[in-house]
Amino acid sequence: MQPQTDTSVQIPLIIDLEEAAATMNEVFMSMKHSVLLKPNPAWKDRFVRLDRLENMILENKERIEAVIYTDFGCRDAFVTDMLDIFPTLSQIRYLKKNAEKWMKPRSFVPDPYLLPGSEEVIFQPKGVVGIIAPWNYPLFLSIGSVAQAFAAGNLCMLKLSETTPVFSSLIEELVQKYFMPNELYVVLGESDISSRFAELPFDHLLFIGSTQVGRKVAQSAAKNLTPVTLELGGKSPAVIAPNYPLDAAVERIMVGKLLNSGQTCIAPDYVLIERRRVRNFVDICRKEARKLYPAGLADPSYTSIVSQSRFESLLNQLQEASQTSKVESLFLGDQFDLKTRKLGPQIVLNPPPDIEVMSEEIFGPILPVIAYPDDDIGEAVDFINS
């Protein structure tokens, strides 16, 4: 059963840039003041924040499922539970169980020339952490990141994606209910607000997203010499070694590729396989895709592409690929639906390296297949390394 659209959550229409920047700066200064007053929170304080995060999810699980469904257009509640809600709760519980012991100082035996001195590593919070979260797993990659920062004793400002506005509005509402503004603060808005957010002098900044945007975030943070962690997308090859059982390989590749319709940073981006096994590989992929989603595009568990612009980008990639390579469809019937933004899985055989499906992260249900000479896996490795 699919969740119903949560009509109580309203999408903000206009956010004034200067007003938002002033508010962000005010909140940031309030958090910095809190850090100065209490720079190293006790474990009980950190635990309470983690506990509230957990309760926020548990008490609003159905609403979270509903708004993610709304933003995507079609995303099965089971997918959201498996890939957003469960891993977030699991991470919070893991931190609650283990983080207290991680806080304890660690002693080391010094080099002989420092004797009779001693060495000890003392773990301290950074302070105020900024997090810029993506849209593809909106709960796990936002609240999961907040949980890590809370466990380490930090306060957080969280910039949520404008691509999933209904989810982002709900999280803003819930955070205001469960947390004080100087503990956790949610920022909404377009890319111009993200740029201003990255310019704040955070004690650490985490960005999860594309390489192109990551460059801009790093440049903005560099103005303050803010330490930055960039978790960026890229090309994730899957190599099928000679004589490896194709049925097992295809089952794993198809599950990883088609969950969330390929909108996953570690989904197999392209496959390398021996030339003699390419035809068999495609046939088994078609069989596996139809087993996973028997109704094709109409299957309620097959996820929509998140936005019209992303949908059109994938169609353009396929159009370009079809000029130089054979494209094989895996579903029966229609291969795309403009209304629901669903795109059936497509295999592109031996595309040239300079077209978009081979030069950029795909982030959708398109799978290039590159043939390497029979029994010569070294050429596959050379291809990846190049």
What residues are annotated to the active site? 231, 265
Q: Is the dihedral of CA 252, 254, 255, 259 positive or negative?
A: positive
